[in-house]
Structure 1
């Protein structure tokens, strides 16, 4: 993510992108992700907290909006799980669409090592950088 702030959330996660995808690679993306630190210090993460933490990355994994020319803010995230995820590693496969009028939508599928476990939908506010 050239020119982006990489401390905090980005550094607190381990990212393994599938070949041909990545934070600076335009297009839909796929990344296996796991937390390196617990969401709350001193507390063990649950399958739900791990899934919610990864879900917040949907639009960034689907890096289809040029963050050098556009400001992108995820205004809402919805996670729908049809079962609890298992393990530390979660896979997020995501794609993003944006309208010319300042809104966007990132839609993703969440998998674990056993397969499909849910969907992620993020609404986006998209503007031009000045």
Structure 2
């Protein structure tokens, strides 16, 4: 079990103790979730966002243990198979497609022997392409130019309460916003900027909602991010559009940013369910 930890979240706030992180390591593959991961649809279950970051951390640690060259993540594709309580989870990592310059790696996060999230990550050899770098994605107003918004005014749960949000809501289902966490991902361990950033990705589905979550449930069953550069630490920017169809399906589409500009794209498939209470059964 990890000992006491004193560190900083993304905004530099000092935190101390294992309970000041989203997860505490219990063993080589097991981790205890803290109250900071409490969900938005159901506060007794985990908001999956920090768990996704933890899985990326596990993939990167496995890569370092196997090889000394530096493959980088080009795609993260998560399938969310169900909900899980705020409890101990386990992560296993395996190489699906080994290669000298390209690998496909799978991580499986489970609770009491049941898979809850599966990740497939493409790892690619980096190269020097600075003379070709560029993107036509529009820049976002900086965090300092974006109004503060209290996400707990719409959503309950420890995870939403652990982050700072600055948001421009253009219309229901369309907006730009910045998010950073006040809580480290894992007590007592350094994690990469990518893992910390990935631990915020899943917040996208709840920041510019098309419908009141008191009356319509719209949980996502997956999340896929494609990256064309590694994100810098700190604020994570989102340029998000939420679309609902007439047959119970939806998509949340996002361009991802850091303070230096766009870093990639992300999409989430939604199941849209009118409800009489703020719950999202699977």
TM-score, normalising length: structure 1:
0.85
Structure 1 residue 2 displacement after superposition: 4.6
Alignment of 1:1-130 (within 5 A): 2=153, 4-5=155-156, 7-18=157-168, 21=169, 26-130=172-276
Q: Which has the higher contact order (CA 8 A, sep 6+)?
A: 1
Q: Is the 8 A contact 2:173 2:243 kept in 1?
A: no
Q: Secondary structure at the match of 1:92?
A: strand
Query: 1:11–1:3: structure 2 CA closer, same or farther, 3 Å change rule?
Result: closer
Query: 1:34–1:4: structure 2 CA closer, same or farther, 3 Å change rule?
Result: closer
Offset from partner CA, 1:104-130 (integer Å, 9 cap, x none)? 100001111110101110111110112
How far apart, in 2, do the equivalents of 1:55 and 1:95 lie? 14
Structure 1 residue 61 displacement after superposition: 2.1
Structure 2 gap ranges (5+): 1-151, 277-282
How far apart, in 1, do the equivalents of 2:253 and 2:225 lie? 10
Aligned residues: 125
Give the stretch that moved more between structures: 36-45 or 92-101.
36-45
Structure 1 residue 72 displacement after superposition: 1.5
Give the stretch that moved more between structures: 108-117 or 40-49.
40-49
Structure 1 residue 93 displacement after superposition: 1.0
How far apart, in 2, do the equivalents of 1:68 and 1:119 lie? 28
Q: Which has the larger radius of gyration?
A: 2
Structure 1 residue 73 displacement after superposition: 0.9
What is the root-mean-square deviation of aligned Cα atoms in Å? 1.9
Structure 1 residue 58 displacement after superposition: 1.6
Offset from partner CA, 1:6-42 (integer Å, 9 cap, x none)? x311012111113xx29xx623121111111112222
Partner of 2:90: none
Structure 1 gap ranges (5+): none
Give the stretch that moved more between structures: 83-92 or 55-64.
55-64
